[in-house]
Chains A and B, each alone.
Chain A
Amino acid sequence: AQSVTQPDARVTVSEGASLQLRCKYSYSGTPYLFWYVQYQRQGLQLLLKYYSGDPVVQGVNGFEAEFSKSDSSFHLRKASVHWSDSAVYFCAASLYNYAQGLTFGLGTRVSVFP
């Protein structure tokens, strides 16, 4: 079955530290991959997306993600976090045959402390 796994439910980091959020997918082909962020009591906002090309894709607010076909992963990174990066981050995937829509991971809650 197609699935997206985010193994870390919660991550706590200090302001200025680096951040990596893990995402693994299980699909028969190479899916389209997305990272969304949800700030408290708001809808989801797209950070970045990937399908092909350079495996490192740049997103908004200094975020980037790296695709690995061999590892079936799409990890999100940020070099230096700010307190405003505290939010829930969702990894999502879809196949070209879009009938099943986007499949989301369970999300990782990030807390940034001063």
Chain B
Amino acid sequence: GGIITQTPKFLIGQEGQKLTLKCQQNFNHDTMYWYRQDSGKGLRLIYYSITENDLQKGDLSEGYDASREKKSSFSLTVTSAQKNEMAVFLCASSIRLGPYAEQFFGPGTRLTVL
């Protein structure tokens, strides 16, 4: 078994601020993902990474940067937080990239922008 840890659990930022979310996994999985979850909009893929130092844009990548410097970690940066923004960011990993590879999810980081 393994676990995905996301830090921080709660993140409060100011409009225009650059904010970084971190994700660690000890599954030794190759592929990692960042999703954004908004109330009423389901989950949308922001970035994913097939392996260390690889980055692939998802449907919602505008306004975000990502970094995968180690196999076990995947960071997401909100480049300029939007006023009144509220969302949950979920990190996930899978053993490899592929449609049938189960994705394991972390508990999420809840973002509030004042």
> Measuring CB to CB, which residues of chain A are less than 8 angstroms from any residue of chain B?
31-32, 36, 41-46, 49, 51, 90, 94-96, 98, 100-102, 104-107
Known: A43-B4, A43-B105, A44-B90. A90 touches B43 (CB 8 A): yes
Would you call B107 and A43 a contact (CB within 8 A)? yes
Would you call A43 and B33 a contact (CB within 8 A)? no
The answer to whether B106 has its CB under 8 Å from any CB of chain A is yes
Would you call A104 and B42 a contact (CB within 8 A)? yes
Query: What is the interface of chain B mostly: helix, strand, loop, or mixed?
Result: loop
> Measuring CB to CB, which residues of chain B are less than 8 angstroms from any residue of chain A?
4, 33, 40-45, 48, 58-59, 90, 92, 97-100, 102-108
Would you call A102 and B98 a contact (CB within 8 A)? no
Which residues of the other chain, A, contact B45 by a CB distance below 8 angstroms? 101-102
23 interchain pairs, CB-CB under 8 A: A32-B100, A42-B107, A42-B108, A43-B92, A43-B104, A43-B105, A43-B106, A44-B105, A49-B102, A51-B99, A51-B100, A90-B42, A90-B43, A98-B97, A101-B48, A101-B58, A102-B43, A102-B103, A104-B42, A105-B42, A106-B40, A106-B41, A106-B42
Which residues of the other chain, B, contact A106 by a CB distance below 8 angstroms? 40-42
Q: In the docked arrangement, what's the CA distance between A81 and B14, Å? A: 43
Q: In the docked arrangement, what's the CA distance between A23 and B112, Å? A: 31
Would you call A46 and B103 a contact (CB within 8 A)? yes
Which residues of the other chain, B, contact A43 by a CB distance below 8 angstroms? 4, 90, 92, 104-108
Q: In the docked arrangement, what's the CA distance between A95 and B99, Å? A: 6
Shortest A95–chain B CB gap in Å is: 6
Which residues of the other chain, A, contact B42 by a CB distance below 8 angstroms? 90, 104-107
Would you call B98 and A101 a contact (CB within 8 A)? no
Which of B42, B44, B45, B58 has its CB near the most chain A CB atoms (within 10 A)? B42
CB-based nearest B residue for A97: B99
CB-based nearest B residue for A41: B107
Shortest B78–chain A CB gap in Å is: 20
